[in-house]
Amino acid sequence: MAFAPFHYDPAVEFERLLDNCAAPPCSPTNPPLTSSPSGDSLVIRPTMDAEEKDEENVVVITLEFPGLTKDDVTIDVVGDKLTVSAEKKRPHHAQHKQSKYTVRERQHGKLLRTLQLAPGVESSDIKASMADGLLTITFPRTSPQEQTDSVIVD
């Protein structure tokens, strides 16, 4: 039996460790943010690319949600924070309960990412689309009022 090569990304692991250090102590009302030994309560940060397009004055965020559809993903805007969340459930097939895994790398749990919006960006300015497990979110780098206010006329 041949295994596929494992890709280790130290930046992701380091980010996870920093998140754990900054998290408040665990309690019944504040569960841990990492997986338990059984792998049940897991919060996953979806991988993200962020691109600024100067010509269009927009930010384009692309997040990976493999195996999910647009109906599975929720986007919330509260103040200047944009939160994207979803839940990737473990398959509940009878064969999985009786299986003995040699390797189990596919993660299941809550997917969550929070982004800081530019000042003045309204929720109506945010556009989102999803195709092939990739969520693309577009919003202005600055609000239209800030664009016109910053113009200097001689």
Give the model confidence (pLDDT) of 50-103 as tens digits. 999 988 889 999 999 988 999 999 999 998 899 999 998 876 654 556 677 777
Q: Is residue 119 part of a domain?
A: yes
Distance CA 74, CA 71 (A): 8
pLDDT at 35 > cutoff 70? no
Regarding predicted confidence, which is higher, 38 or 110?
Answer: 110
Q: Which two tokens stand for residue 122?
A: 């309204």
pLDDT of residue 33: 45
**Residue 124 in this model has a pLDDT that exceeds 50:** yes
The reported pLDDT for the residue numbered 82 is 92
Q: Residue 140 sits in a domain of what CATH number?
A: 2.60.40.790
What's the pLDDT score for residue 31?
42
Rounded (10°) CA dihedral 79, 32, 22, 117 = -20
The helix or strand, by DSSP H or E, that contains position 15, with its residue range, turns out to be helix 10-22
Q: Which comes out higher in pLDDT, residue 20 or 31? A: 20
Q: Over the chain, what is the mean pLDDT?
A: 74
In a domain, 111, yes or no: yes
pLDDT of residue 37: 42
Whole-number Å distance between alpha carbons of 111 and 65: 8
Tell whether 139 is covered by a domain: yes
Q: The whole model's pTM is what?
A: 0.63
Contacting residues for 6 by C-beta, under 8 A, at least 6 apart: 105
- On whether residue 12 sits in a domain, the answer given is no
In a domain, residue 14? The reply is no
Domain encompassing residue 74: 42-99+106-149
Q: Is residue 87 part of a domain?
A: yes
pLDDT-above-70 percentage for the chain: 62
- The answer to whether 91 touches 99, Cβ cutoff 8 Å, is no
Into how many domains does the chain fold? Answer: 1
